[in-house]
Structure 1
């Protein structure tokens, strides 16, 4: 990876840059004021403006106001004024000196809110007399004369958006940043570019921010130190004792109810802090809550708060919340946490209840901490069922097994044993891949006399494991059983998964709709855990993608990624990023697919869980598509190591990836054999969705799979499987015109890679059959499709002799088909009409067409 640049990239202020340049160089412009809080990039934008001004011929004089110069007449401007300033008429002498400067002249002043009165007066005169163009940066609310009087055009600068922050981060690091880390840095900086820069600098210096497998990742908590700590302390300023008390209480509780905080500090202090923007008061549902003005304030306050005082704060918060009755669901978690951190006594009942609430809220870290505290207090039996599930999610399936076995060895009722046994069986199956042990545990706790709900829950666990063993059809039949509504939802989820695997995508949607309707009717706040059930929205994403609705799948997946998952939701993270990587591969975006696949992979080589096989297989396939044979082979080997015999259906993703890893190494015949083996494996399990993909891959590697794919279309009526079958049939019959029609079908679905491959095959066949014009036309369409491809390599695209248009010819051709005249094209491309005429003449010759109508027919709609 590249080294961190001294000057960070300029990101996210393009519109402001153009507006400020217009205010400085336009015919009626006098200057501009960049106004915003510290760290939002005022000086960085001024740097860009200065660079542009100098390129346009301006003489730029830049000065910096400081606290030290604020009481000295002309103190900040001294560097640009004459040494022999006359005391009788200093302003006149200063203006006289400026007029001697090379023209045009621009004066740039940083931190103008610290200017002395004499300097302000001089700038007034310069601006009014139009002796120079003036640009200043300033904090809001201070020394506003320059823009409030209409002398300068004011531009308010706020924080960067999330997208702008991510772009700045990745450009500064010269590489991609994983989503968890970019979210952490976005939250820590709150869009403030200066804070982001210092976080990156300190993170790299401390080793918290480092690149692994080409992806930058943050490790551990954010720690304030060095320049970053100084900046945050500077923004906090000098604090009165009452103000510090309020901020420290917030640092250990935010967001916290205004009523609770007001019961512990003076209201006047809160008013002052809100006025200074050190706290934010906002509505949250029916409550009014208070937050710190910036996330890093909390980090600094916690780091500098003495230990005994911190404990006292947390005891006070716990007592204050208890005094209100602790009516909200999350209140027990907060009280338990504050009591633990405050060193005050805490009952086992409170720990157990808080642990259950933390787990229901999927706060894995807090749930584990509360469980361990309960175990230390001798309450293993009270929290054993929660602790086991927490350890599964925390990548500690062996510890989960030991813990659950320990709990179950005690004197427990049959009902308690059955609950714990269900959890233990899930861990044994999906965490450790031990199907026999998982079944034995279920058999041991499935005894006569259990309540109906528990009997049904054990049945759900059996069906869930059977759905992973396969085949699909028997599981579908077994899953139709009457049981309590809250458990029936789990059976619907299992059926939806089976329909997805069977390629019955309409029934997936129907089952998910029914599942979500039942859950809404029950108003379930939490459910018995059925780890690792995929949530219904994730299954809907896969059904959309597999059936050829790529854009809808990507849109839903990105929406879920923004709102649903934390860093420990391994099933969600792996599934979503694997799906997005799959879609990117279909579109020919190889590098993007590889990046997404890296996100889906486990960050550790230890304790691989079932979904790790999906992430590693996705990485292997994406690396192979990009031609990175080393990474592809390594990822495939790790996927094979992670795979367990019990995980038969999930393991097919490894088999599907294997053929592409072999193909990337150059052995297309062996790749075809691997694809056919994967297709047979999927067929045996009734996984027709993956069988269709494998058969299509085999066809792309040269095997005639047209009859098997055509047979699948009788039960799979989705557009993508039909396109697979048409592609395989056209290849088998060596029909270039059908291949071109298939390309159109793939393009309509968004599968641009397959469309380009079909056109490549059509061009080759046309050329073999002596139809040079048709070959050139197909080849040109292929070139247009591939203009946005990124690092993609497949056997079908590695053919020599294709006739391609140049990149500029592609641009001209596309603009011509959009209806623009040659003159309009020339203006858009900043070239001459004659050059456009020559390009179009060359394009017509390559494609064998005589005009725009034929060009539009050949290339399709723009």
Structure 2
């Protein structure tokens, strides 16, 4: 049996409905596979533990036409024909009491069984729990006899927790996203995906982490379940569903033009399709993602092509007005075997690249190349190849295209792409600048001239001083290109550690994009990534994590796209700040390049993140290896992004036990960052140096004059308190770090405070700080830092921390005992021990010492 996860509130509600005075019972109502029976299992186990006699039965299609068929096992063999209902009630009332009757699939009950349950409930002979599908046999709850509890799918967090508990180990982020997308939170589908994935080897464990390899295949029991939920389909219904399987989400108007209206009504009634609002449109989706997988797998090839030709023709007939319409038409024409013009392929490829659908962009580019249109799509194809980790191939392709007969405008457009590839793909700043100079000729249209300025400034932002480049971002440009320059300005501000201004620039870019007239512009993920980093580094950990996860869920199909992998670095950083070492290391591993070859610019960030996470977890060997790879991946063209590497180096040295060298390396990293105006990296490195024992308080305090974010202020306060050996200030700094979500730094500040109090002879204050530290660290795992390795700290036990936390939340000793499934006397003893360790006399003082729960 799979673990019981994510239904704690529902379980308590149902138990209350079955055990409270004047309550009759409950009805769990929801579609198949959402876990109604699993919850009923937990309820039965709890009821039996409290001495309630439980009678359980299962309604089926076979028993639905037999009087008392589903309940036969609990009824007497000598049912009198004159009054069978009375005999059934008499038998059950004479049995063990209190009595609870649990019925699975109550929508299949016969009328006699429904009548018996009515009588038992109304006369108080039994409490009743039923599970049922929505919309069927609603008498028991519509008449007020039972409390109705709608039962839906698991949330994403619940699904992830269930996966980890079922597999007894962590699941990589991409695989958990894939399984969440495939199951849509349906626990039964999730379980069958796991079972089938393990059986065929698609889901396997590597280095302690589970991951899914390849696409989801519907086979075995999983395919049977999906087919069972689809049921028998009339030809018109199947036709509509197959069209939807190749197009969802699709406009209701388009789908309705291709199928019978009555079929759509029937399918919506059966919950096989969903009709939703999306902006100004009404769109249709399949009732579950796995329906599409099954329908596509079972649709004959010729019919599939016919469907896609029909979809393309239908959309073209509507005018193809939306941004993504050309991509859809081109895809359907390619898959449907229809003729497709080079003009359409080129336009669709540009749209796909703008939407960051890398897979589709590459496919459309290759189709255009096959049709002899390399010069038409070269500027897109070059970017696709670069981000597909083939910058050498991109350079060869673009160089070849640029030798052909091209106009100056076309040459400059291709030259800009080639220069970007040379700079960001191959790390050759000189060659990139030379190509830009060659194509920047007199007479170019204004928009192309401005675009070349944007490209040149973006490249300079990676290897020139931040202030110099920042000044050049104020050049006047055409409105639609000003957005690109403002993004470069945001990047400079991010390097400079001016995080609030980064968010202001991103806000401006988003607003300007909307003002240019696009009804639903594609989000710019570069802007969103910069916002993530600014939030994380500026002390808004929870917001950064939330935004990064939102982006991840949107982009997980294209996580090989350069730049989106940096989301792992944000998430790993947030996990490090929370003291979640294993999670930080797992995320950093997922985000780092897996194979050797041409390193790209974001690889330096990913590998530096891996080195830092491994160092935090005390894995010196892995930290050294990741740092060596990061050093090798650095290019002079990427000097500013490469500053993450020396910042990580100090932590690798600390993980190897050389704290003096780590301190020296941190100061050196701060100096290198300062030389380029990378004050964000400088502040981090100075704070690390302070944690390693160097007084950097004056430099950090000076930085707060231009970096007004709360994290840098907390860095300065922490360094100052350490330099002045001020344990009380360290305690206050810990509170500031906790407010920012930087739990790791809070624990270190408290550890230092405890050590200083003890050195200064204040044992009680030392114990209090140490206890606060233990409370802060209750969720830490695999965390190794010099401050937390200090000896002589007085910690509460894990159970004492738990009791103390519950006590500060306002629970009585009896309530704590019930929550922890122990006795009140044990809780009394724990609290007495806690008071002794901390030198306090009661809960008020305890709350003062530990802080609110």
TM-score, normalisation: structure 1:
0.90
Query: CA offset at residue 227 of structure 1?
Result: 1.0
Q: Aligned pair 1:387/2:378, yes or no?
A: no
Distance 1:199 1:503, change over 3 A: same
Q: Any idea what SS the aligned residue of 2:565 has?
A: helix
> What pairs up with 1:223-242 in 2 under 5 angstroms?
223-242=217-236
Distance in 1 (alpha carbons) for counterparts of 2:48 and 2:807: 38
Distance in 1 (alpha carbons) for counterparts of 2:832 and 2:371: 85
Query: CA offset at residue 65 of structure 1?
Result: 2.4
Q: Aligned pair 1:651/2:651, yes or no?
A: no
> What pairs up with 1:390-469 in 2 under 5 angstroms?
390-469=384-463
Q: Aligned pair 1:676/2:667, yes or no?
A: yes
Query: CA offset at residue 121 of structure 1?
Result: 4.1
Q: Any idea what SS the aligned residue of 2:640 has?
A: helix
Query: CA offset at residue 419 of structure 1?
Result: 0.7
Distance 1:153 1:687, change over 3 A: closer
Q: Aligned pair 1:665/2:659, yes or no?
A: no
Q: Any idea what SS the aligned residue of 2:389 has?
A: coil
Task: Give a deviation string over 1:473-495, Cα, whole Å, max 9, x none.
Answer: 33233333232232233222222
Query: CA offset at residue 749 of structure 1?
Result: 4.1
Quick check: 1:486–1:527 contact (8 Å CA) kept in 2?
no
Q: Aligned pair 1:702/2:696, yes or no?
A: no
Task: Give a deviation string over 1:45-85, Cα, whole Å, max 9, x none.
Answer: 11111111221223333222222333344433343345565
1:801 corresponds in structure 2 to: 792
Q: Aligned pair 1:766/2:766, yes or no?
A: no
Q: Which stretch shows the higher mean deviation, 679-688 or 209-218?
A: 209-218
Q: Aligned pair 1:779/2:773, yes or no?
A: no
Distance 1:385 1:654, change over 3 A: same
> What pairs up with 1:169-248 in 2 under 5 angstroms?
169-248=163-242
1:10 corresponds in structure 2 to: 4
Distance in 1 (alpha carbons) for counterparts of 2:521 and 2:91: 78
Distance 1:237 1:850, change over 3 A: closer
Query: CA offset at residue 468 of structure 1?
Result: 0.9
Q: Aligned pair 1:591/2:585, yes or no?
A: no
Q: Tell me how large the CA RMSD over aligned residues is.
A: 3.4
Q: Any idea what SS the aligned residue of 2:356 has?
A: coil
Q: Which stretch shows the higher mean deviation, 330-339 or 229-238?
A: 330-339
Quick check: 1:545–1:583 contact (8 Å CA) kept in 2?
yes
Q: Aligned pair 1:498/2:498, yes or no?
A: no
Distance 1:554 1:250, change over 3 A: closer
Quick check: 1:493–1:512 contact (8 Å CA) kept in 2?
yes
Counterpart selection for 2:620 from 604, 622, 629: 629
Task: Give a deviation string over 1:299-343, Cα, whole Å, max 9, x none.
Answer: 111111111111112222222222333333322222221211111
Distance in 1 (alpha carbons) for counterparts of 2:510 and 2:64: 64
Quick check: 1:534–1:571 contact (8 Å CA) kept in 2?
no
1:791 corresponds in structure 2 to: 782
Quick check: 2:173–2:587 contact (8 Å CA) kept in 1?
no
Q: Aligned pair 1:315/2:309, yes or no?
A: yes
Task: Give a deviation string over 1:85-128, Cα, whole Å, max 9, x none.
Answer: 56566555555554564433333222222233444444444444
Q: Any idea what SS the aligned residue of 1:646 has?
A: helix
Distance 1:675 1:15, change over 3 A: same
Quick check: 1:581–1:594 contact (8 Å CA) kept in 2?
yes
Distance in 2 (alpha carbons) for counterparts of 1:258 and 1:630: 57
Q: Any idea what SS the aligned residue of 1:332 has?
A: helix
> What pairs up with 1:94-243 in 2 under 5 angstroms?
94-95=88-89, 97-98=91-92, 101-243=95-237
Distance in 2 (alpha carbons) for counterparts of 1:154 and 1:853: 42
Query: CA offset at residue 423 of structure 1?
Result: 0.7
Distance 1:504 1:65, change over 3 A: closer
Q: Which stretch shows the higher mean deviation, 488-497 or 650-659?
A: 488-497
Task: Give a deviation string over 1:414-469, Cα, whole Å, max 9, x none.
Answer: 22111111111111221222333323322332333333332332232222112111
Task: Give a deviation string over 1:514-556, Cα, whole Å, max 9, x none.
Answer: 5445444434689999xxx973343334334333344454455
Q: Any idea what SS the aligned residue of 1:175 has?
A: coil
Query: CA offset at residue 42 of structure 1?
Result: 1.6
Q: Any idea what SS the aligned residue of 2:564 has?
A: helix
1:687 corresponds in structure 2 to: 678
Distance in 2 (alpha carbons) for counterparts of 1:735 and 1:795: 19
Task: Give a deviation string over 1:705-752, Cα, whole Å, max 9, x none.
Answer: 344434444544544334434433443444445544544544454433
Distance 1:217 1:814, change over 3 A: closer
Q: Which stretch shows the higher mean deviation, 652-661 or 208-217?
A: 208-217
Distance in 1 (alpha carbons) for counterparts of 2:17 and 2:740: 47
Q: Any idea what SS the aligned residue of 1:155 has?
A: strand
Distance in 1 (alpha carbons) for counterparts of 2:834 and 2:290: 58
2:22 corresponds in structure 1 to: 28
Task: Give a deviation string over 1:764-792, Cα, whole Å, max 9, x none.
Answer: 23333434344334333433433343332
1:3 corresponds in structure 2 to: none
Counterpart selection for 1:332 from 326, 330, 348: 326
Distance in 2 (alpha carbons) for counterparts of 1:562 and 1:294: 17
Distance 1:107 1:645, change over 3 A: same
1:484 corresponds in structure 2 to: 478
Distance in 1 (alpha carbons) for counterparts of 2:757 and 2:40: 58
Q: Any idea what SS the aligned residue of 2:197 has?
A: helix
Task: Give a deviation string over 1:106-162, Cα, whole Å, max 9, x none.
Answer: 332222222334444444444445444333222233333433444443333222233
Quick check: 1:574–1:614 contact (8 Å CA) kept in 2?
no
Distance in 2 (alpha carbons) for counterparts of 1:32 and 1:746: 46
Distance 1:286 1:489, change over 3 A: closer
Distance 1:87 1:758, change over 3 A: closer
Q: Any idea what SS the aligned residue of 1:611 has?
A: helix
Quick check: 1:565–1:572 contact (8 Å CA) kept in 2?
no
Quick check: 1:394–1:568 contact (8 Å CA) kept in 2?
no
Quick check: 2:457–2:472 contact (8 Å CA) kept in 1?
yes
Task: Give a deviation string over 1:203-239, Cα, whole Å, max 9, x none.
Answer: 2222333334444333332221111111111122112
Distance 1:649 1:271, change over 3 A: same
Quick check: 1:466–1:475 contact (8 Å CA) kept in 2?
yes
Q: Any idea what SS the aligned residue of 2:447 has?
A: helix
1:578 corresponds in structure 2 to: 569
Quick check: 1:257–1:288 contact (8 Å CA) kept in 2?
yes
Distance in 2 (alpha carbons) for counterparts of 1:87 and 1:400: 85
Quick check: 2:409–2:444 contact (8 Å CA) kept in 1?
yes
Query: CA offset at residue 845 of structure 1?
Result: 4.6
Q: Which stretch shows the higher mean deviation, 209-218 or 839-848?
A: 839-848
Counterpart selection for 2:56 from 62, 84, 97: 62
Quick check: 1:512–1:536 contact (8 Å CA) kept in 2?
yes
Quick check: 1:393–1:568 contact (8 Å CA) kept in 2?
no
Distance in 2 (alpha carbons) for counterparts of 1:115 and 1:106: 17
Q: Aligned pair 1:342/2:336, yes or no?
A: yes
Distance in 2 (alpha carbons) for counterparts of 1:615 and 1:103: 64
Q: How many residues align?
A: 853
Counterpart selection for 2:260 from 266, 272, 279: 266
Distance 1:649 1:8, change over 3 A: same
Task: Give a deviation string over 1:605-642, Cα, whole Å, max 9, x none.
Answer: 55432112212221221222122334433433433343
Structure 2 alignment gaps of length 5 or more: none
Quick check: 2:513–2:521 contact (8 Å CA) kept in 1?
no
Distance in 2 (alpha carbons) for counterparts of 1:799 and 1:787: 17
Task: Give a deviation string over 1:550-578, Cα, whole Å, max 9, x none.
Answer: 44544554555566776337455333332
Distance 1:213 1:563, change over 3 A: same
2:529 corresponds in structure 1 to: 538
Q: Any idea what SS the aligned residue of 2:461 has?
A: helix
